[in-house]
Structure 1
Amino acid sequence: MYHSQTPLDQITVVLKNPKFPENIGATARSCFNMGISRLIVVGDVVPRYEDMAKMATHKAVHLIDTMEMHPRLEDALAPFHLVVGTTARLGRKRTIERSPRDIVAEILPLLSDNRTALLFGPEDRGLTNDDLKYCHYISCIPTADFASLNLAQAVAIHCYEIYNTLVEQTREPAASPATATVRQLEGMYQHIEDALLAIDFLDEKGNIYWMQSIRRLLGRIRLTAKEANIIRGICRKFLWHQVNRSDNLQKKPENP
């Protein structure tokens, strides 16, 4: 059974009869950006190297240098365990198309033991029904009214979905800060009540109603201990200013 060092090592992009060598170079650049290092071109004529290399740029030109050429699609796909065909067209005899994201979620668990090809057709016609007979999955990129994408764009979208899903799977979840305890929240609510009483926002009659509303509002936020302490600090500072203001008014000398 075949094993690879990383899931991305199992992915190969296969281009059938691409019309423009520049699109091959742009495809190589997209593959390199997303960690995919194998490229196969199916066709009878070797594309012009300079045109491919120009679009690949110097960072991805090594994918052009190591690119495989096959005259027949069947030979190019022979070593692969899984083949994902891509299409923008709907047809009566076609397998049900799914989005790249849905297909990536399904094939990623299989990559450790299965070589996988992402198959793209020529720019003007795409893959034929005869090409799709080799495919285990059919991927169709959701678009708006105009359902035509450049070949290199379609490759970039599929490579991105694979890379992004792998990154998300390996990323450690961020630690969630602990929410405030009942003791901390009750201390906060007491400071809020004291501050609102100091400005006469609350009175004896409406005290319970307003404090219940405030509790419901802040309860939905699930405050952390730090956030509860910030609110308490604001209330304490506010109350301090209120006390000092009252003292200063009392000490102010009367006009002669």
Structure 2
Amino acid sequence: MIEDSNNKHSKSTPKAFAPCHHLIEKLLLNHSFNISSFTSHFKIRHGTMNNKKISNITVVLHQPGYPENIGSAARAMCNMGIGKLIVVEPRNYNHEAAAKLATHSAKQILEQMEIYESLKDALAPFHYIVGTTARLGGQRVVESPREVAERVAHLSLNNSIAMLFGREDRGLSNEELKLCHTLVNIPTSGFSSLNLAQAVMVVCYELFIAKSTISVNEEPLHPLLQAENSKHTGNSTQEGKEQKRHSPRLAQRRELDIMYDELENVLSEISYINPENPDFWMNHLRNFLGRISLQAKEVSIIRGIIRQVLKYGEQKS
């Protein structure tokens, strides 16, 4: 309760605001308090837009047909703090046309954009790949952007993440979707077709919200704010450190591809798969192991087992 002894008309502080006044009293009595640290955390916690950039998350556009869509996608990324863009086999790309839709704010994203001729090469260094699709049914398991965003936010602490978007007219093929660890479908009311830049904006927005929460937990609070915060949420700074420590380092796409090639080779050697149709069992294995999201050390273990099996076969022959 805060009262002014010099003001006879002062009123008691409403109960709902008492914790805020209690905190402000502490801050005013502490001469070393840095007001910028208080306001920055206040803005993040209360949904105010901040200038933080989201690291370790890249948007990948596969065979976009219109440069204007690339520019609009870059603008959406800039709005949500995602700065890295990869374009694979762009059709009819024109930088000036893309720049007009990107506006000045997203100019740097287009200037630093990487262009690849192969989707496999573009995805090779990434640890976790999220593919977008409008097609449902069959054995395809999909999540909403909100469902996948929190997991991606945590994984991105120690891993490089690719958010993969397909062609405007037909999206990603079944073979291209197999390169992904998980699939995202943006729920709509009846009409499921979204403009490429619209889809990028929806996904990036969910990532921005999820990542902002993680960012707060990673940053140290002022000691006074830390004490007040721990009363309600526990030690969030320590929680953020634990999250980063326990975020696993996943295998890169290129490491998985090498493992699958070696696995197919050893299964052929022991006559487990039909040489005339090796894809039948390999597709099942890729789907099964892909759902697990193998860590780098686990891929090394599997490759070690494969080498020992081949070595044992050579010794027996």
1:42 to 88, 98, 114: 88
In the alignment, which residue of structure 2 is the partner of 1:87?
133
Residues in 1 aligned to 2:106 and 2:195: alpha-carbon distance in whole angstroms: 19
In 1, Cα distance between equivalents of 2:92 and 2:54: 26
The share of aligned pairs that are identical, in percent, is: 48
CA distance in 1, matches of 2:181, 2:196: 21
Alignment match of 1:141 (pick from 175, 178, 186): 186
* CA distance 1:129–1:88, change in 2 (3 Å): same
Structure 1 runs of 4+ with >3 Å offset: none
1:97 alignment counterpart = 142
Name 1:19's counterpart in structure 2.
Answer: 65
Q: 1:132 to 1:25 in 2, by over 3 A?
A: same
Matched, 1:128 2:173: yes
Alignment length (residue pairs): 171
Deviates more, 1:44-53 or 1:149-158: 44-53
Q: Normalising by the residue count of structure 2, what TM-score does the alignment of the two structures yield? A: 0.51
Q: Deviations over 1:114-169 (max 9, x none)?
A: 10000000000001111111100100011111111110000000100011122244
User: Which runs of no fewer than 5 residues in structure 1 stay unpaired?
Assistant: 1-5, 177-256
After TM superposition, the structure 1 = structure 2 runs for residues 84-233 of structure 1, keeping only pairs within 5 Å, are 84-94=130-140, 96-169=141-214, 170=216
Deviation per CA, 1:31-78: give whole Å up to 9, x if none. 111111100000065610111000000110111111100011000000
Aligned to 1:194: none
- State whether residues 66 and 92 of structure 2, in contact with CA within 8 Å, keep that contact through their aligned partners in structure 1: no
User: Is 1:72 aligned with 2:111?
Assistant: no
RMSD, aligned CA = 2.4
- Cα 1:65–1:124, aligned 2, differ >3 Å: closer, same or farther? same
AA at the equivalent of 1:153 = Q
The answer to whether the 8 A contact 2:65-2:90 is kept is no
CA distance in structure 2 between the partners assigned to 1:29 and 1:62 by the alignment: 10
Paired with 1:140 and 1:45, the residues of 2 have a C-alpha distance of 24
1:113 is paired with a residue whose SS is: coil
Q: Deviations over 1:172-227 (max 9, x none)?
A: 99x89xxxxxxxxxxxxxxxxxxxxxxxxxxxxxxxxxxxxxxxxxxxxxxxxxxx
CA distance in 2, matches of 1:29, 1:41: 15
CA distance in 1: counterparts of 2:90 and 2:186, whole angstroms: 28
Structure 2: distance between partners of 1:44 and 1:142:
27
Confirm or deny: 8 A CA contact 1:7 1:112 kept in the other structure: no
Report the Cα distance in structure 2 between the residues aligned to 1:63 and 1:74, rounded to whole angstroms: 22
Distance 1:7 1:28, change over 3 A: closer
Is the Cα contact below 8 Å between 1:41 and 1:67 reproduced in 2? yes
- Structure 2 portions without partners, runs of 5+: 1-51, 230-317
Distance of 2:91 and 2:169 partners within structure 1:
17
Q: Classify the secondary structure of the residue corresponding to 1:10.
A: strand
2:17 aligned residue: none
